[in-house]
């Protein structure tokens, strides 16, 4: 099946290959990728949704000025256990700690999406997906750690890989967990006149 490509200049302000693939899935082919470099530390007592919104908007603000006249999209994915923001796993110790916390529990994946239009107008959305993890044995956690699939992932897992075996139910957008809720991106882009 060929997907019709939508045509305005579109900058993806994200280094995430997942986000690039997700956009391609709905026929949005970025003309360029320009990754933001910002401080992603949470503020004291900052709640997960406020954090996702702030970071997505700061990523957009870091990249947008370099691309006047284009659509620019930035996003952030946060794994939240109650009021607690889990880290992006960059090492095995962090990934193991995340999996131990998620084991046998329900958590939220919160996606912040920020898009600027050539008109200068910009919009922000926060999208929530509920994810249930089965109880994980120590052996399951160690096998998952050995897979390295947790690397660079919020909350230390990737639903699009082996971790799918640990997730009996999801409520809400699946693509939001992977990195970008596609129905929300589509609604935001069409609302801003993209592809007209």
Q: Choose, from 76, 91, 130, 184, the residue flagged as catalytic.
A: 76
How near is the Cβ of 45 to ligand TTP at its closest, in Å?
20
Best CA proximity match to 100, nearest among 174, 179, 42, 157? 157
- Mark whether 130 is an active-site residue: no
**177 contributes a contact to ligand TTP by CB under 6 A:** yes
Single residue of 9, 29, 32, 35 touching ligand TTP by CB under 6 A: 35
Establish if 151 lies at the interface with ligand TTP (CB under 6 A).
no
Residue 16 sits in the site that holds ligand TTP (CB under 6 A): yes
The burial class, CB within 10 Å (0-12 / 13-18 / 19+), for 163 is: buried
Confirm or reject binding of residue 178 to ligand TTP (CB under 6 A): yes
CB-wise, 5 or 164, nearer to ligand TTP?
Answer: 164
Q: Does 155 sit near ligand TTP (CB under 6 A)? A: yes
Q: CB nearest ligand TTP: which residue?
A: 14
Q: Rule CB under 6 A: is residue 153 a binding residue for ligand TTP?
A: yes
Residues 6+ apart with CB under 8 A from 39: none
Residue 157 interacts with ligand TTP (CB under 6 A): yes or no: yes
Task: Give, in order, the Cα–Cα distances in Å from 178 to each of 101, 137, 155, 160, 174.
Answer: 20, 24, 12, 7, 7
Nearer to ligand TTP, 1 or 43 (CB): 43
- The three-point CA angle 141-146-151 to 5° equals 95
Distance CA 107, CA 119 (A): 37
SS3 51: helix
* Binding positions for ligand TTP, rule: CB under 6 A: 14-16, 18, 35-36, 75-77, 79, 88, 109, 152-155, 157-160, 177-179
């Amino acid at each position: 099946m060929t997907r019709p490509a939508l045509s305005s200049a579109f900058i993806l302000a994200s280094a995430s290959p997942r986000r690039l693939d997700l956009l391609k899935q709905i026929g949005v082919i970025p003309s360029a990728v320009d990754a933001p470099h910002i401080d992603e530390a949470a503020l004291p007592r900052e709640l997960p949704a406020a954090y996702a919104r702030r970071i997505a908007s700061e990523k957009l603000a870091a990249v947008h000025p370099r691309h006047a006249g284009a659509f620019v999209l930035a996003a952030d994915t946060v794994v939240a256990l109650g009021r607690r923001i889990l880290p992006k796993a960059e090492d095995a110790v962090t990934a193991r700690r995340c999996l131990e916390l998620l084991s046998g529990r329900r958590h939220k994946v919160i996606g912040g999406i920020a898009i600027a239009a050539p008109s200068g107008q910009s919009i922000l959305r926060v999208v929530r997906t509920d994810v249930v993890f089965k109880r994980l044995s120590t052996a399951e956690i160690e096998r998952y750690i050995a897979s390295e699939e947790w690397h660079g992932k919020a909350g230390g897992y990737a639903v699009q890989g082996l971790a799918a075996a640990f997730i009996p139910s999801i409520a809400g957008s699946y693509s939001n967990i992977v990195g970008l809720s596609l129905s929300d991106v589509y609604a935001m882009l069409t609302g801003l006149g993209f592809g007209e």
